[in-house]
A and B are shown apart, each in its own frame.
Chain A
Amino acid sequence: MWGGPFVDTGASAQYAPAGGADTDGGARELWTGAPFASPERWRSCRVWPDLLVPTQETGRFRFAWWNTSFNRSRPKGNGTGPKATKAIADHKERTELAENVIRELLQTADCVALGEVEADEHLGLEQALGGAALSWYRDDSRGLSLAINTSVATLVSDLRHRTREGTRNFHTAWQASLWLIHAPAQLDLYVVHWPSDVGAPAGAHRRTLGQNLRHIVADCPAPPSGTRGHQIVLGDFNEEPFDEGLAQGLLAGRDRYRVRSADPPGAFLYNPCWRMLGEQRPWPTTAPIAPAGSAYHPGSGSSRWRTIDQVVLSGGLLGDDGWVLDEKALQYVEHKDIFDPAAGTLVNRFDHLPLIGSLVHLKQGP
């Protein structure tokens, strides 16, 4: 009757929709009914019927990434003329808008990673937004910042991974090892901002960075329980899910089954952003225009949008219980200060949307 002992029906697996039909990102209810009540409920099961057990959420960890694109307006040099004064005022205005976005991200996410933030901007954000429960950290070598809600997670240690080729020096990832407090576990977060093709093609370098990061993630020790590790790689990869650095270097793919059944475990990573390629609403639609990617560059080729801000996860986060990816919660944030839904464009010279996602801790049992 069934193809095997494991029936994966997708992102809604842990939940039984309230009315039998799936909902899209709305309020969800935990499994409460009889397990064999309807075919819909059959389909929401991930295990053989005789092993069917309800799950309950016992913890949640929300993460976010945003490339602030401060580089686009940061004044260069110490000029004092009218042009310089205007540049300073312009950057100040954009910083205030960015603060609004980051403030909302911090209200939603427990850990927010930011790109293109220089030391003084980091300090400014910390002063403007830093609450008592927030801890701020920084990797100066690539302009990355990290704000962590310390009531949910604490930073255990951090490492800066770099790749050198001859006289060239690239930032591979900033590894922040977090301890999740509510359902205790270690989570290794790798924040990346790989080089772009501006100036010269950097695809070959990104592939090397992907390969090196692949080895770093694979060598990351598993938790003492012997289960697969919890690892998240997120940031601006400056390439799409199908490009070489991610697909052939980092071995991050679209196939959950391949990631879960990899031998050795951890050989592949899962990239849920494959689901976020292209237009999000089928045509024809009367709904407001949605972004067709994460980065908006009007002057580039056949598409103004590229899906380059992504999150990639280890197979340990695709389990049936413990800390797992809540894929439905993954989305690009269409904040009013950076996205105009009427025009379908980014505004105020921002060129990236924030990405927000969530892990959920599930416990099997009545």
Chain B
Amino acid sequence: MSDYKDAFRKGLTAYGQYAAAEKEVRLVLARASEELSAATDGALQLQWATLTRDARPPTLMETVTRSPPPQESYRAITAKVGAKVVELARLDLDDRTGWPATLAYAREHEICSDATALERALIEMLGTQRAGRLLSSIGAALLPDEPAPTQAQEGPGVDGSAEVEKKD
């Protein structure tokens, strides 16, 4: 009997941790969205959406019959300007405890242990030329009084990647 009760308690604790982590992530994204919205006269918004994609490449039979392969859902940060939406990066939480969150885009796969880490990873992601291209493609533009981004603001590393701690 006590095993079931302990398991239930454990489940509730895990759920509490997950919900708290999810709230923190939403808060980080809300802050980012708010700042970007203000910088674009309310045009640009960030969202955390659940999207679907093919779970695997189509089989020969599926190709012949034009039926889609099985779908899987995932969560991603999307940018929205009017009706135009573009996917910026995948953002998933750890299934069990929420943190760490994983931010994945292009060749980058970032495991973020906490809200500060996620904030840093998001800032770096938005500073890449890839994000600039995607946001431009949906018509996102900074207000005229905002200084235009320069190379120096894109981050210290190549492709906008931050400097990794190097202790050899």
Q: Which residues of A contact B (CB under 8 A)?
A: 67, 69, 71, 115-116, 119, 140-143, 157-172, 175, 193, 195-199, 202, 208, 212, 216, 236, 238
Which A residue sits closest to B110, measured CB to CB? A162
Q: Which residue of B lies closest to A119 (CB)?
A: B158
The answer to whether A159 and B109 touch across the interface, beta carbons within 8 angstroms, is yes
Chain B residues near A167: list those with CB within 8 A: 116-117, 120
Question: Please, which residue of chain A has its CB at the minimum distance from the CB of B161?
Answer: A141
Indicate whether A142 sits within 8 Å of B161 (C-beta atoms), given known contacts A161-B111, A164-B117, A166-B114.
Answer: no
- How distant is the Cα of A208 from the Cα of B120 in the complex, in angstroms? 18
The reply to whether A142 and B166 form a contact with Cβ atoms under 8 Å apart is: yes
Q: How many A-B residue pairs lie within 8 Å, measured between CB atoms?
A: 88
A135 to B121, CA, bound (A): 30
- Name the A residues within 8 Å of B159 (CB-CB): 140
* Bound: A159/B104 CA distance, A: 10
B168 within 8 Å of A by Cβ? yes
Q: Which residues of B contact A238 (CB under 8 A)?
A: 168
B98 at the interface (CB under 8 A from A): no
Count of chain B residues with Cβ under 8 Å from any Cβ of A?
A: 25
Interface centre among B111, B118, B162, by most chain A C-beta atoms within 10 angstroms, is: B111
- The reply on B157 being an interface residue by CB < 8 A is yes
Q: Which residues of B have CB within 8 Å of A69?
A: 168
Q: Which B residues fall within an 8 A CB radius of A?
A: 100, 107-114, 116-118, 120-121, 157-159, 161-168
- Whether B116 and A170, one on each chain, are in contact in the complex, defined by CB atoms closer than 8 angstroms, is no
Note all chain B residues with C-beta closer than 8 A to A141: 157-158, 161-164
Q: Is the CB of B111 within 8 A of A169?
A: no
Residues of A within 8 A of B116 (CB): 166-167
Determine whether the beta carbon of A164 is less than 8 Å from that of B113: yes
Q: Contacts of B111 on A, CB cut-off 8 Å?
A: 161-164, 172, 212
12 contacts between A and B (CB under 8 A): A116-B168, A119-B158, A141-B158, A141-B163, A143-B166, A157-B107, A160-B108, A160-B161, A164-B110, A166-B114, A169-B120, A171-B165
Chain B residue with the shortest CB-CB distance to A208: B113
Rounded to whole Å, the gap between the CB of B24 and the closest CB of chain A is: 13
Bound Cα distance A195, B166 (Å): 6
**Contact with B117, one of A165, A172, A198, A236 (Cβ below 8 angstroms):** A165
B96 to chain A, nearest CB (A): 11
